[in-house]
Structure formats: C-alpha cells, structure tokens
Amino acid sequence: DIQMTQSPSSLSASVGDRIIITCRASQTISVYLNWYRQKPGKAPELLIYTASTLQHGVPSRFSGSGSGTDFTLTISSLRPEDFATYFCQQTYSIPLTFGGGTRVEIK
Amino acid sequence: EVQVLESGGGLEQPGGSLRLSCTASGFTFSDYAMTWVRQAPGKGLEWVAGISGSGDSTYYADSVKGRFTISRDNSKNTVFLQMNNLRVEDTAVYYCAKGWVVIERALGGFDYWGQGTLVTVSS
C-alpha cells in the first residue's frame, strides 16, 4: 500500500497568512494526488486534483504543485473559512489512501 | 445541481449487518465511479470501497475485504454498501462520494460528497 505522510500535522496561523502543507508518498504516484479541505462537522471538499488543477469554484488563493513523491498545497492568504483540516489523497493505486491530515488553527 | 444523499446508518452489535444506500442526482450516474469513505470519531479519512460506473469492477480496502460488498443500481442512481460481520472498529461516519471515470489512475478526485451517515458498532 502507498503511505501518504502529511506535514505538519497541525499549524497555527492568522488571517492573511500564507501557508504551505506538504504531502509525501511512500512511492512514486506521478500526479495522481488530490487535496481536500474538511470543515468541522462537514464532508470534505475537493480543492485540487492531479496535483495542481484547481477544482471548479475553488478560490485562486489555493494552489498545488509537485509530482512523483513530493507535493505541496499552498494557501496564499488565509481566510476565516480556511481554518479547517486538509487531507491529501493518492489515486495512483488501490487501495486509495489519504494522508493523516493537517489541522490549520487560528493563532 | 449535483446531490448525494446517504442513508441506512445506525447502531448495530458486533457481528451484525447493515446496508447503506446512497442516491445521487444531477449527473449521468452510470458514467462515473462511486466510492465510500469513512471517518472514525476524531480520526482521519479512510477509503473503504469503490465501484466502476458500469458496476463491473469493485475495489476494497484490506480492512473490509470479505466483509463489505459495494454494488450499484444504475436504473435508480443508487450505490449500496452491504456491511457484514461488523466490528467495533467499523464505527465511523460513512460518506458516499462521486468519483472520476475510473477508480485507479483517476485523473480527478471525489468532487461531490454526501453529508455522511453514522454507523455505530457496539454491544
């Protein structure tokens, strides 16, 4: 199985800050990498697919990059609604696997 | 507008069975894979099972293989998760989500999710 490791597991930031979350795959997954945001008590929302493609309707402050084993999610200017948990996911091989999550908290 | 709605969760004893249903609308159902993802209380996301648009191909996490069965009825825009021999560790919110055209090597993510249905396994 492909293990997905996210870092950090949590971070504190302020509205307007730029943050970067990283995700590392235990083996190469090309660009088969997605990012989700999950607000408390809600279902996850797709932000980025194939590593760098912005899902329709997602604000441009979100961006993704990477290929192979190392990926990043960048939020250029945090908004109040971005204080949530973020997950990466690989769709390269079965079983599909998620990273452990990164909780973004208000400083 | 795309909508995904799960039902069928509840309280069941260890060793028991439950059947989850997920009805979707707003897209050509048979063109897309569907998937179940679960989240134990306070934990992360775990992919559980996926099924191709035609229903010919099914895929499972090792943790549920042999106990859970995913199926779909394209005439009713519904996907099912039959859960047998339930264990305490199956306790979670179960989400149904619309996938891409295929499950593996998918060039897209899970773009629409239901609100989730809670399954509690306890004696």
* Separation between Cα atoms, residue B16 and residue B74, nearest integer Å: 27
pLDDT at B102: 87
Confidence of residue B58 (pLDDT cuts 50, 70, 90): very high
B47 and A50 within 8 Å at the Cβ level: the answer is no
Which tokens sit at B65? 């293989």
CB atoms within 10 A of CB B19: 13
Tell me: pLDDT of B107 over 90.
no
Confidence of residue B103 (pLDDT cuts 50, 70, 90): confident
Confidence of residue B28 (pLDDT cuts 50, 70, 90): very high
Per-residue pLDDT tens digits for A14-31 = 999 999 999 999 999 999
CA B16 and chain centroid, separation = 18
Considering only the beta carbons, identify the residue of B59, B103, B110 that sits closest to A46. Answer: B110
Cβ contacts of B50 on chain A, cutoff 8 Å: 94, 96
Cβ contacts of A1 on chain B, cutoff 8 Å: 62
Q: In what side-by-side order are the strands of the sheet with B68-73?
A: B3-7, B18-25, B78-83, B68-73
Q: What's the rounded mean pLDDT across residues B85-91?
A: 98
Q: What's the rounded mean pLDDT across residues B59-69?
A: 98
Average pLDDT, chain B: 97
**Within an 8 Å CB–CB cutoff, is residue A95 touching chain B?**
yes
* Separation between Cα atoms, residue B49 and residue B61, nearest integer Å: 6
Which tokens sit at B24? 């979707």
Closest Cα in chain B to A46? B111
* A82 SS3 class: helix
In which residue ranges of chain A is pLDDT below 50?
A: none
